[in-house]
Amino acid sequence: MPHPAEPPPRGDARAEQRRRTEARILAAASDQFVEAGYERTTIRAIAQAAGVDAGLVMHYFGSKLALFEQVTKGGQLPPAPTGPPGQVAEQILAQLAGSLTTEPVRSLAMLRSMLTHPETTQAFREGTQRFRAQLAAAIPAPDADTRAALISALIMGVVMDRHLLKSGGLDTADPDQIIALLRPVLRTLTTADPPPDPA
């Protein structure tokens, strides 16, 4: 007859409890930074949302800035797609579809905080510049830089309107419909213009 499972060692139980508490604090901080931005978010508000003492938040993360950096780590545009123009457009649309369906919390927290937190502005600007440069390299057109900038602005604008501004229309629209409407636009922007008609 098998013996019942033994309870985990006390040290393991404490470590698991700490992981759960940290995850709860990070989730609460993510919500607060998205809703209020960096400047207006307080450690007290994060602690209250997480159901812990404010001192515990500081004990685990050290400062509001360190907590913000943990929340927004990796919260920039994804790596730019590569390949033939048709594939590039479809890869961009697939990435955007994911952001329309599931809130990209890290990116939204950065976008909400950019106007009041200079370090966030600089980090997001650098990430956006890398994305545009990689994307421009995949567009076979003499004005590839401008096209890449338009695509980047389009993606950020759609995501911001849907999840942050919620100004009506995009926040309730079917993601499939948004993608279908954008498909010809992105295919045009990622494809070289045809040569002029000799006639």
Whole-number pLDDT of residue 5: 45
**Chain segment 76-88, per-residue pLDDT in tens:** 556 667 777 778 8
Whole-number pLDDT of residue 2: 45
Give whole-number Cα distances, 38 to 83, 111, 116, in Å: 37, 10, 7
Per CATH, the number for 10-71 is 1.10.10.60
Beta strands in 21-86 (DSSP E): none
Residue spans per domain, the chain: 10-71, 85-189
- Average pLDDT (118-139) is 82
* Residue, of 5 and 131, whose pLDDT is higher: 131
Give which of 185, 124, 132 is closest to 160, Cα–Cα. 124
Which of 88-97, 151-160, 177-186 has the highest average model confidence (pLDDT)? 177-186
pLDDT at 186 over 90: yes
For residue 195, give the amino acid letter.
P
Whole-number pLDDT of residue 32: 87
pLDDT at 92 over 70: yes
**Chain segment 23-64, per-residue pLDDT in tens:** 899 888 888 887 888 888 899 999 999 999 999 999 998 888
Given pLDDT bands bounded at 50, 70 and 90, which one contains residue 131?
Answer: confident
Whole-number pLDDT of residue 63: 87
- Give me the DSSP letters along 85-142: HHHHHHHHHHHHHHHHHS--HHHHHHHHHTTT-HHHHHHHHHHHHHHHHHHHHT--ST
Given pLDDT bands bounded at 50, 70 and 90, which one contains residue 4?
Answer: very low
Given pLDDT bands bounded at 50, 70 and 90, which one contains residue 74?
Answer: low
